[in-house]
């Protein structure tokens, strides 16, 4: 069993927030691969189905971001999962918009959702870091991530979620570097990504 977790805040007013791109990505994975229906489970909503040959649970915590770990811990305990079985999709202000990086473990860089998850299950889970850019000043970060994507940003947000969903089976198979590169190439092909070669990391060992 694999657990894919999208991070975000619940409620209609947060749907389009930069902080909610983890929700958007995981919802698109469910849609693309016919996984559903969503049901209320584990202090959130979840659906289950096959992905890349693996039985997979998709989870959107129904708590606010800073309590995300509660939902993740409930699901992990129920299915007896280790951190190695868990992948978390989240917004990353330290990456340029539309850039994706995959890593296992590491710091939380002030992200309240990651902090909560690490407090509940430890730090050695996989993260799909989805770049949303930085407002330039630390004091503006809170408002920046809790604001909606600008109209001009929506094309890359939709294209990136589509590319993530299209290549999600690679994640399920542990091919992190291949996933990262395929997403990069898909964005370049749509004219929405940086054209320089993506840095490479070995599959199954993205740190």
* DSSP codes, 57-118: EEEEESS-GGGHHHHHHHHHHHHT--GGGEEEEEEETTS-TT-EEEEES---TT-HHHHHHH
* SS (HEC) of 153-174: HHHHHHHHHHHHHHCHHHHHCC
Could you give the 3-state DSSP secondary structure of residue 206? coil
Q: What share of the chain is helix, strand, coil (3-state, %, to 5)?
A: 45, 20, 35
77 is catalytic: no
* Candidate list 19, 33, 90, 111, residue with the active-site label: 19
3-class DSSP state for residue 193?
coil
Residue 61: cis peptide before it, omega within 30 degrees of 0: no
Query: Active-site residue numbers?
Result: 19
């Amino acid at each position: 069993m694999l657990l894919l977790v999208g991070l975000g805040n619940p409620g209609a007013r947060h749907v389009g927030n930069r902080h909610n791109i983890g929700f958007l990505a995981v919802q698109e994975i469910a849609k693309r691969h016919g996984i559903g229906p969503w049901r209320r489970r584990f202090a959130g909503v979840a659906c289950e189905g096959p992905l890349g040959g693996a039985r997979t649970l998709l989870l959107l915590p129904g708590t606010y971001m800073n309590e995300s770990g509660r939902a993740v811990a409930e699901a992990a305990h129920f299915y007896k999962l280790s951190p190695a079985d868990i992948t978390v999709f989240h917004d990353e202000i330290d990456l340029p918009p539309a850039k994706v990086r995959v890593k296992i473990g590491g710091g939380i860089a002030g992200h309240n959702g990651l902090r909560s998850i690490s407090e509940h299950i430890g730090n050695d889970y996989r993260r799909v870091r989805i770049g949303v850019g930085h407002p330039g000043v630390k004091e503006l970060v809170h408002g920046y991530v809790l604001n909606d994507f600008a109209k001009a940003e929506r094309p890359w947000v939709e294209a990136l979620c589509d590319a993530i969903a299209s290549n999600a089976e690679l994640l399920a198979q542990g091919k992190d570097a291949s996933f990262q590169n395929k997403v990069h190439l898909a964005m370049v092909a749509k004219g929405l990504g940086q054209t320089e070669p993506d840095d490479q990391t070995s599959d199954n060992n993205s740190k």
